[in-house]
Amino acid sequence: MTDQSPQPHADGQPPTVEKGGLWGVFLSAAGLMLPPFGVLLSLLGIHQGRKARRAARENSGHAPGAVLSMVLGWIGVLFSAAAIAGYIVFWDEYTAYQECSARALTVSTQEQCDAAWRSAVSERAGIPEDEVPSLGGSA
C-alpha cells in the first residue's frame, strides 16, 4: 500500500490545505435539499470541488471534501433533472392540484384534492393509486 498523505514541501513547509472542497460539499448538499431549483447549487458545488482539487494539486496540498462535493453535486444534478422531468410530465395534474388546493377551505376538501391528484397521476402513469405520493403531506 502506498501512503496517500501529502508530503511536506522541499523547503520544509507543511502541505497546504485547500478549503474550497468543504464549500463545495456545503453547496452540493444544499442543492440536494432544494430540487429542482438546487441544480444551480449542485453545479456550483461541482465547480468548487474541481477548483479545489486543481489548486491542491498545483500547491502539492490536499483538498478535503473536494471529491465528495463533486459526487454530491452530480447526484443533486440528477435528482433535480428527475424532479424537472416529473414536473413537465405531470404539469396538468400538478396545476389542477394547485388550483384545487387554493380553493380548499376545509380538511375534507383538501383530502378530496389529494385523492384527485392520486387518481389523475395513477391513471396517467399506470401505477396503483396507493403508490402515488401525496403533495399535501397527508398519507
What's the pLDDT score for residue 7? 55
Write out the three cell numbers for 96: 389542477
What's the pLDDT score for residue 15? 67
Write out the three cell numbers for 89: 410530465
pTM of the predicted model as reported, rounded to 2 decimal places? 0.70
Sign of CA dihedral 30, 32, 36, 42: positive
Reading the chain (139 residues) residue by residue, the pLDDT tens digits are 444 555 555 556 666 777 788 888 998 999 989 888 889 999 999 999 999 999 888 888 888 889 999 999 999 999 999 989 988 999 999 999 999 999 999 999 999 999 999 999 999 989 898 888 887 655 5
